[in-house]
Structure 1
Amino acid sequence: MLERKKLKGGTQVTFVLPADTPDGPVSVVGDFNHWNPAAHPLIERGDGTRAASVALAAHTAHSFRYLAAGDYWFDEAHADGRDGANSRVHT
């Protein structure tokens, strides 16, 4: 799931997954963090989900995917679109 919060000149996008699906650590990787899995690991929240937030410039589009333990790549079911194998988010 994607959550959005308007910021001055941009949008904070929060990437949200259930706490245990998939099992183990998960990161969101994309063109906004140079596809670096260490840049935005999802952290557990009190509501039973885990999330990572990224501030993105207004009126932009970005490709991303999730990377879980065991080199398991997967997409966001509620993404704004697709870019080949990647999910897309628009701000």
Structure 2
Amino acid sequence: MPINKQFLKSRPEVKVTFEVEKAAAEGAEQVLLLGEFNQWQPIALKRMKSGEFKATLNLPTDGPSHFEYCYRLIQPDGECRYDNDWAADGYVPGPFGRDNSVVRVNP
């Protein structure tokens, strides 16, 4: 589940592409991204023809040094499970007994 970052010179933002690879999605019908950067409101990742899911967001670099996030994988039968990003910049304990992924937004 790689994350790619592109720091913008014209604005205090970093363009972050969140990606869930086909193997990590494990047959999910839908993948949702939840994070501090938007008050934990779900963002649907776009399903690619290759079976990967992707979303690109601009995150501010003039605020906190990092944001927490996780993925919610929705299976064809409607079952949901949460997963962390295998390629996150780090992990921190979350409030529900599991870790959250971290994306660092400072160069």
Give the whole-Å Cα distance in 2 for the aligned partners of 1:54 and 1:81: 19
Select the structure that is richer in strand: 1
Higher deviation after alignment, 3-12 or 81-90: 3-12
Match of 2:31 among 26, 37, 41: 26
Match of 2:68 among 59, 63, 68: 63
Match of 1:80 among 73, 89, 97: 89
Deviation at 1:19, TM superposition (A): 4.0
Identical columns (%): 24
Tell which structure's C-alpha radius of gyration is larger: 2
Is the CA contact 1:19–1:44 (under 8 Å) kept in the aligned structure 2? Answer: no
Unmatched 5+ stretches in structure 1: none
Unmatched 5+ stretches in structure 2: 94-98
Letter in 2 for 1:16: E
Per the alignment, in what secondary structure is the counterpart of residue 29 of structure 2? Answer: coil
Q: Per-residue CA shift, 1:36-69, capped at 9, x if unaligned?
A: 12xx211023555220111111162000000011
RMSD in angstroms over aligned alpha carbons?
1.7
Give the whole-Å Cα distance in 1 for the aligned partners of 2:80 and 2:46: 18
Letter in 2 for 1:61: H
Is the CA contact 2:19–2:52 (under 8 Å) kept in the aligned structure 1? Answer: yes
* Structure 1 length-normalised TM: 0.85
Per the alignment, in what secondary structure is the counterpart of residue 32 of structure 1? Answer: helix
